[in-house]
Structure 1
Amino acid sequence: MTTTTLSKPATTVAANITHDVVRPPARRRLGLGRPIPYGRILGPLAVTAVWWVASATGALDPRILPAPADVFTSAVNLTGNGTLVDSVLVSLLRAGQGFAIGALTGIVLALIAGLNRVGEAFVDGWMQVQRAVPTLGLIPLVILWLGIGELFKVVIIAVVVAVIMYIQTYAGLTSIDSRYVELAETVSLSRWDYIRLVVLPGALPGVFVGLRLAVTSSWLGLVVLEQINATSGIGYLMFQAQQYAQTDVVVLGLVIYGVFGFASDAALRVLERKVLSWRRTLSG
């Protein structure tokens, strides 16, 4: 009985076969990659650092832009006497009321126009006209109607927010793929189930885009409105500081507006990720 001897070990043969196989090239990454934790705050921090260095080295004239330390000192002093806290609360209340009323109004109008052709005929044309008219240009007319009290400020902010929310929500409703509507009709969904299972998921991305744009616009509108015969608020504080050439207080007001805008946008981003957790996008 003879024993057959292999010329090469089996492991060597397998290694050679693996070596001869043409491997596909490594896949090139085209997306954004993993999000950087707290990455969006790096930009404001970098600008603040440049501002601080320019002020410390004397490259920046304090009459043009005061040093961050001076702005911080003004914030501490105004907080100590209660002026800053009262102004912030008043501004938050104005912006919050206008935003809530405007967002609800814009979404309701978009639903009326986006779910029914009759509603679209009556609502969409008027809202498109309103979009073309600068809302802040309505200030003289609204003052004649409502006076120059708190209601006037809230109404203007609400109009700004409502137009933005309508445009974005209506676009989200009308951009739903018609195949989903046909599928809903095929399986005989009720009107409520159609809205719940097709309309709302399809429109929510547009709604959140509208919310983020609207909350920023509410702060922008507030900057203007609080300087029109106001007696309180961050804008009034800035206007008073302008009269006495207190540049540090003016810059402090701008910083507060910026912080409010950044924080509200960040909060909406977090809410959007939780509500739309089923959606995979480049934003993460």
Structure 2
Amino acid sequence: MTGQAESQAWSSLKGAAALAAPPLAERKRRTFDWRLLLGFLLPVLIALLWEAAVHFGIAQGRLVPPPSRIVATLLALSETGELWTHVWATLWRVIVGFVIGAAAGIVFGALSGSIRTARYLLDPTLQALRAIPSIAWVPLFILWLGIFEASKVALIAVGVFFPVYLGIAGAILSVDRKLVEVGHVFRLSRLKLARRILLPAVLPEALIALRSGLGLGFMFVVAAEFMGASEGLGYLLVDGQQMGKPDQILAAIIAFALLGKIADSLLVYGTRPLVRWQDTVRERL
């Protein structure tokens, strides 16, 4: 009887908890919709306030055009197809540079983080190179690779490489020593130790490093497209500055922001299954 009573009490407790809190999938679905709307609130509010300030004569809107003019510029560029040509040129450079830089960062970060001799050999030089400003690489890459696509992709790859390298190496070095000792107790081989213990421990920070590298890739593509480009959103920025078109400059900046956000979201959702096993506070809020 005691066991039956305990079972009934436990069932009642679980039922009460289920009534008190909706299912996790339902909560995540509702939270996602709410956060999506909330994310648009601040930029839309700022745009409406600035539009109203220009409309009522509080501000001139000459150097910072109202959102209606910026949207009109984006629509005009889109109708002629010019916008999509520039977007594709920028996106192609970022994708190629990101793949090259991230692959090199993962390889060198893994070597530096897992092999002490490699760390002593590679890390001082790479840390010194990381301190070089991005614009300093421009004349060297032009001299080595010419003014066409190769130099632009190389500059973006350099920008992506360093945050990925630091993230991977730091993640490996910060793995809890007790986890590795447990693997040794169970006599796991190097391959099984890496697959069952090191990889799950490193993966969350590695994905953050990839996101940081992607963000820097979009920053470096602007400097890359200053190197004599005739296509790309960076070219739109330069053309707008030279022709005195602030609406075109802001339209290119907004296009950069939207393109970067979409790319970051795709990376996050594409890699989410890799860390589905995590039970973090973020998943419960």
**TM-score after normalising by structure 2:** 0.82
Tell me how far apart the structure 1 counterparts of residues 109 and 206 of structure 2 sit (CA, whole Å): 10
Aligned counterpart, 2:88: 89
* CA deviation vs aligned residue, 1:125-146 (integer Å, no higher than 9, x gap): 2221122222332212222111
**Is the contact between residue 237 and residue 248 of structure 2 (CA under 8 Å) also seen in structure 1?**
yes
Gaps of 5+ in 1: 1-33
Aligned counterpart, 1:98: 97
Gaps of 5+ in 2: 1-30
**Is the contact between residue 229 and residue 235 of structure 2 (CA under 8 Å) also seen in structure 1?**
yes
Percent identity reads 30
**Is the contact between residue 183 and residue 193 of structure 2 (CA under 8 Å) also seen in structure 1?**
yes
From the CA coordinates, give the structure whose radius of gyration is larger.
1
**Alpha-carbon shift at residue 268 of structure 1 (Å):** 3.0
Aligned counterpart, 1:66: 65
SS, match of residue 237 in structure 1:
helix
Aligned counterpart, 1:184: 183
Aligned counterpart, 1:252: 251
Aligned in 2, Cα 1:90/1:105: closer, same or farther, shift over 3 Å? same
Amino acid at match of 1:37: R
SS, match of residue 58 in structure 1:
coil
Q: Which moved more, 1:75-84 or 1:56-65?
A: 56-65
Aligned in 2, Cα 1:90/1:200: closer, same or farther, shift over 3 Å? same
Tell me how far apart the structure 2 counterparts of residues 43 and 176 of structure 1 sit (CA, whole Å): 38
* CA deviation vs aligned residue, 1:248-268 (integer Å, no higher than 9, x gap): 111100000111122222233
Amino acid at match of 1:196: R
Query: Is 1:121 matched up with 2:120?
Result: yes
Amino acid at match of 1:109: F
**Alpha-carbon shift at residue 269 of structure 1 (Å):** 3.1
SS, match of residue 72 in structure 2:
helix
Q: Which moved more, 1:72-81 or 1:56-65?
A: 56-65
Tell me how far apart the structure 2 counterparts of residues 186 and 137 of structure 1 sit (CA, whole Å): 50
Amino acid at match of 1:122: L
Query: For 1:160-239, what aligned pairs fall within 5 Å after superposition?
Result: 160-239=159-238
Aligned in 2, Cα 1:44/1:267: closer, same or farther, shift over 3 Å? farther
**Alpha-carbon shift at residue 272 of structure 1 (Å):** 4.6
Q: Which moved more, 1:205-214 or 1:100-109?
A: 205-214
Q: Which moved more, 1:110-119 or 1:55-64?
A: 55-64
Amino acid at match of 2:184: E
* CA deviation vs aligned residue, 1:110-168 (integer Å, no higher than 9, x gap): 11111212222222222211222223322122221112111001001101101110001
Query: For 1:39-54, what aligned pairs fall within 5 Å after superposition?
Result: 39-54=38-53
Q: Count residues in correspondence.
A: 251
Pairwise CA RMSD of aligned residues? 1.7
Tell me how far apart the structure 1 counterparts of residues 279 and 131 of structure 2 sit (CA, whole Å): 34
Q: Which moved more, 1:178-187 or 1:112-121?
A: 112-121
Aligned counterpart, 1:262: 261
Tell me how far apart the structure 2 counterparts of residues 153 and 262 of structure 1 sit (CA, whole Å): 21
SS, match of residue 249 in structure 1:
helix
**Alpha-carbon shift at residue 91 of structure 1 (Å):** 0.6
**Is the contact between residue 138 and residue 227 of structure 2 (CA under 8 Å) also seen in structure 1?**
no
**Alpha-carbon shift at residue 67 of structure 1 (Å):** 1.4
Aligned in 2, Cα 1:221/1:42: closer, same or farther, shift over 3 Å? same
Aligned counterpart, 1:37: 35
**Is the contact between residue 152 and residue 227 of structure 2 (CA under 8 Å) also seen in structure 1?**
no
Amino acid at match of 2:162: V
SS, match of residue 249 in structure 2:
helix
Tell me how far apart the structure 2 counterparts of residues 144 and 50 of structure 1 sit (CA, whole Å): 47
* CA deviation vs aligned residue, 1:81-111 (integer Å, no higher than 9, x gap): 2211111111110111111110111011111
Q: Which runs of 4+ in 1 moved over 6 A?
A: none
Aligned counterpart, 2:135: 136
Tell me how far apart the structure 2 counterparts of residues 175 and 46 of structure 1 sit (CA, whole Å): 42
Q: Which moved more, 1:237-246 or 1:150-159?
A: 237-246
Aligned in 2, Cα 1:275/1:47: closer, same or farther, shift over 3 Å? farther
Aligned in 2, Cα 1:183/1:92: closer, same or farther, shift over 3 Å? same
Amino acid at match of 1:88: V
